[in-house]
Amino acid sequence: MSEPHVFQKAPLVQPATPGTYWFCACGRSQSQPLCDGSHKGTGLGPLKTEITAEKQVAWCGCKHSKTLPFCDGTHRSLT
């Protein structure tokens, strides 16, 4: 399996409504933070995420968070 591409070293903070989201875990999607199928052939795939209440979400932009799909600050330690 390949390593995910660092899309950006900051979270993508957005409002989210209740529903199912497919988080881009490979970092290659042009529809960040959501999957657009760009992962094909990478060995990585999207992460299914359920949002149960309307809220602000800090999606992981670096794709290395230990709490994917959400940001945990890991981007601060990447070189």
| Cα 59 from Cα 65, distance rounded (Å) | 10
Sign of the CA dihedral with 21 first, then 22, 27, and 32 last: negative
| Amino acid making up residue 68 | L
Tens digit of pLDDT at every position of the chain (79 positions): 589 999 999 999 999 999 999 999 999 999 999 999 999 999 999 999 999 999 999 999 999 999 999 999 999 999 8
> What pTM does this model have?
0.94
d(CA 32, CA 23): 8
